[in-house]
Amino acid sequence: MFGFDALRTPANAASDEDLPLLRRYPARDGEQLAWRPYDSTASQILVFVHGSSAHGRSYHHLAAAIAASGAAKVAVPNLRGHYLSGLRRGDIDYVGQLEDDMADLIAELRRQHFDGPIVLGGHSSGGGLVIRFAGGAYARLASRFLLLSPVIPTSATLKGRSAGGWAQVNLRRIIGLVILNALGIRGFNALPVIEFNKPVQFRDGSETLAYSWRLCTSYQPRTRYAADVQKLAARAAVLIGEHDEAVDAQRLRALFDQASPASAFTILPDTNHFAIFTNPAVHAKLAQWLMLPDDARPTH
């Protein structure tokens, strides 16, 4: 499923010894959240958000390649509710907290004199969070957005309710919680609503295998997702593999053609949901886009 075995190849495996030293930054509630820096000669900074169940380590080779290319410094957070970040695995405190945490990370980067323009990027659900961020109150903090196989769960772009078999969704519970929240009742938002089908042989204890309603909701575009997508406009690049197991590439293209036609959209041949961030050829393409001047970025 999803090419998990590719992450175990020598080219893609990453041990803790390979990684930059884990750092902590203070969120507004005082929680110390995890991130890793990848230094570069560039002034531009790419903040790259991991996908569901994962954490930043899975994106080590992408971050290292971008930094080494001179396209951008890279900051890779472990989102709250995931490995080494937050008090509770699979849960956060309120809907919208992940956006607050991203804004707090950017504030920390500024305190540490990362003064260049910020590009906010993400893979899979991380791409969904980037879309949500672009449609929210903090959009001005990022100059551009980079989406790899972004997941928009309430749209027709997802391959079935299970995202091609990746997730088990408790739809009845989600509907009930949406109704309760519309009535102002939030006492049940910690209930789990989604579980992830990561094969046992690929688990190492660092994955997060279930999400609460408030984490799940915070990790994706708003229900009226088109309004968030529209805010991306010409500031965004979107890449997806033609063989993506979770997201339908052609349906995603159609969505962007309608809601954000100015965004640069690319379907990569012979590429699946994991190869979009593990393939060195894709890393080179990302670096190329990051280094383009504003007036030279293609839209389609």
Give SS3 for 118.
strand
CATH code for 4-159+220-296? 3.40.50.1820
pLDDT digits (tens, 9 = 90+) for 286-295: 999 999 986 5
User: Percentage of the chain with pLDDT > 90?
Assistant: 87
What pLDDT was estimated at residue 160?
77
What pLDDT was estimated at residue 120?
99
- Strands across the sheet containing 192-196: 167-169, 192-196, 210-212
What angle do helix axes 97-111 and 125-134 make, rounded to 10 degrees?
A: 80
Average per-residue pLDDT for the chain:
94
Do residues 177 and 193 lie in contact, with contact meaning Cβ atoms separated by under 8 Å?
yes
Instruction: Provide DSSP, 53-105.
Output: T--GGGGHHHHHHHHHHTS-EEEEE--TTBTTBSSSTT--SSTTHHHHHHHHH
Q: How many CB atoms lie within 10 A of CB 255?
A: 21
pLDDT digits (tens, 9 = 90+) for 65-86: 999 999 999 999 999 999 999 9
- CA-to-CA distance for 46 and 106, rounded, in angstroms? 10
Mean pLDDT along residues 1-20: 68
Mean pLDDT along residues 16-22: 89
Do residues 55 and 128 lie in contact, with contact meaning Cβ atoms separated by under 8 Å?
no
Q: Over 90: is that where the pLDDT of 6 sits?
A: no
Tokens of 149: 């196989």
What pLDDT was estimated at residue 293?
80
End-to-end distance of the chain based on CA atoms, in angstroms?
31
Q: Over 90: is that where the pLDDT of 3 sits?
A: no
What pLDDT was estimated at residue 130?
99
- CA-to-CA distance for 270 and 266, rounded, in angstroms? 13
What pLDDT was estimated at residue 166?
81
Indicate the pTM of the whole model. Answer: 0.93
